[in-house]
Structure 1
Amino acid sequence: MTSQSILFQQRLKSNAESVEAMLAGLLSAGLQAGEIARPERLLAAVRHGALNGGKRLRPFLVIEAAALFGEGPASSAVRVGAALECVHCYSLVHDDLPAMDDDDLRRGQPTVHVAYDEATAILAGDTLLTLAFDIIAAPETVLTDRIKTELVLALARAAGIGGMAGGQALDLAAEKNAPGEAGIVTLQAMKTGALIRFACEAGAIVADADAEARGLLRRYGETVGLAFQLADDLLDLTADAQTMGKATGKDMARGKGTLVALKGQDWAERRLNELAAEAETLLAPFGERAGILVETARFVANRRS
């Protein structure tokens, strides 16, 4: 293991701990200004869906992309990362529902609708999605109103009908009519890639970077998003449920098309290496400062869980 990869692992762990602590505080029983009550069962379900470990890769990308510019309060990047993680966790809670992907296991523990019930799981997801925008808008997020507005708009576009939610709709449709290669690429860019792309661009927005730098981080995020989903599809084929902490092989069982199914494992492994190299090229203008993000792309391409 190289010194850069060791540093990456240390930063991944420390940033995850920071985000976990932030989320735990935001999801405490204490009321915020304007709130009336926090129902105990709903709060427990929300905490079950959000405080269950995980690598916190998306907030990590926000924090490290912001740090690339050496600007912007670090606490604000953590808060924006926590907001993004709320959107991601909401999507998992809802995706696991019987009407969607119907999963019983997530990160090695019962999914929210199994641990509680379906109605509570729906409300838990609603709560997390709403909380994401609360976090960005709150005065504790020390950013200008212009930057907050840019973040809210970008996150809404990444999470909505033209992004993650639309991607989930395409994913459900794919169970009945398997898409071709172009359709799979579009579906995955929306369902998985949009939030990862936002994570990287959000770091540049937090740092108030110029349009050129913001564009590079956006393209880097798109590349990492492609690699993440391709690696996920490969793991769905090759890993076991215990390693993944969730059911595997379900896409194949449902007849959903993936690039791995279309082109094979060897192609997927070569393509993952190409995507990691493409990500590194995009970061070249930032020099040594981008070392952690370069290592992140390699980690995503080579991940085993």
Structure 2
Amino acid sequence: MPDIDFGTWRARVDAALAAALPDSSHAPQRLHAAMHHAATNGGKRMRPLLVYAAGTAFGADIAKLDAPAVAVELIHAYSLVHDDLPAMDDDALRRGKPTVHIAFDEATAILAGDALQSLAFDVLAHAPLDADARVAMLAELATASGMRGMCGGQALDIDATGGAAISVAELERLHAMKTGALLRASVRLGAIAAGVDFPTQARLDVFADALGLAFQVRDDLLDVEGDSASLGKTAGKDAAQRKATFPALLGLDATRARLAALSDAMRDALAPFGSQTDALAALGRAAVERKH
């Protein structure tokens, strides 16, 4: 396991993303420019970092991790483009910059999201991995991004917006699909590249499931406690849209306690691996402690 160097990993995935994205000078230029705007507009790169952290922890060659790292970030970028549309969250700001439908137009934003999603699977299909690993990764990413993952979670989120009654258990299921599925897939893609055994994968799943929920709980707290300048997106939108959130259902104190419990669950899941999974543990802490 190398020393943790998230900056090097971010630079690596940024370079791989730039190589995978189409040339903006080629037709259709507007679509290609919108794809670049969405995928290279900063961000924490949490999902690619999870791929690198999980893969290198268990001995994967880092060159085998670039394609899955790019693929999960492209799926994440597409989801944000569509989430920000007027028909969804109707947001004008993302990472401190205009959202794609504001910078370009709605039709271009829809097409850019579609193209980013397609490109993710194209990148994985041509990854320098053996056929079994490629198929396993494609299946994992398809499940995480489709009706049993992100899309299904977004549909549940729409149903729960506007004051509809929802239980804490239902809210957790919603976010396990909408946010958690792709985070879990990121860890799994790294593990697939490393060829981990079933008990190891099962323990990594426990970590990833706690991480996914912790990420959303922290997001809900930041929407209440943060400001637009710090967040890089519009603060207070959850309450304005009467969205189901953990603070709305549990209150702030209980939500903070839930976040602490999830932090403990992540730590316990990785404990048997010792320093081998220090990078994963650091990313778990970053999800809990982040300010944006």
Instruction: Tell me the TM-score normalized by structure 2.
Output: 0.95
Aligned to 1:223: 210
- Match status 1:25 vs 2:19: yes
Maintained 8 Å contact 1:200/1:220: no
Q: What is the CA distance between 1:198 and its match in structure 2?
A: 0.7
Q: In structure 2, which of residues 6, 18, 31 is the aligned counterpart of residue 12 of structure 1? A: 6
SS at match of 2:230: helix
Maintained 8 Å contact 2:78/2:113: yes
Aligned to 1:3: none
Structure 2: gaps spanning 5 or more residues: none
Q: In structure 1, which of residues 167, 170, 177 is the aligned counterpart of residue 156 of structure 2? A: 170
Q: What is the CA distance between 1:30 and its match in structure 2?
A: 8.9
Aligned to 1:297: 284
| Alpha-carbon separation, structure 1, partners of 2:112 and 2:32 | 8
Q: What is the CA distance between 1:38 and its match in structure 2?
A: 4.3
SS at match of 1:256: coil
Amino acid at match of 1:104: A
| Alpha-carbon separation, structure 2, partners of 1:229 and 1:123 | 27
Maintained 8 Å contact 1:63/1:203: yes
Maintained 8 Å contact 1:164/1:190: yes
RMSD: 1.5
Q: What is the CA distance between 1:12 and its match in structure 2?
A: 2.4
Structure 1 window deviating more from structure 2 (295-304 vs 91-100): it is 295-304
SS at match of 1:230: helix
- Match status 1:54 vs 2:43: yes
Amino acid at match of 2:290: R
Aligned to 1:197: 184
| Alpha-carbon separation, structure 2, partners of 1:171 and 1:240 | 23
SS at match of 1:100: coil
Structure 1 window deviating more from structure 2 (252-261 vs 93-102): it is 252-261
Q: In structure 2, which of residues 70, 84, 89 is the aligned counterpart of residue 101 of structure 1? A: 89
Instruction: Tell me the TM-score normalized by structure 1.
Output: 0.91
Maintained 8 Å contact 1:180/1:257: no
Q: In structure 2, which of residues 181, 184, 200 is the aligned counterpart of residue 213 of structure 1? A: 200
What percentage of residue pairs aligned between the two structures are identical? 45
The number of residues matched between the two structures is 289
Aligned to 1:150: 136
Structure 1: gaps spanning 5 or more residues: 1-6, 32-36
Q: What is the CA distance between 1:45 and its match in structure 2?
A: 0.5
| Alpha-carbon separation, structure 2, partners of 1:30 and 1:103 | 25
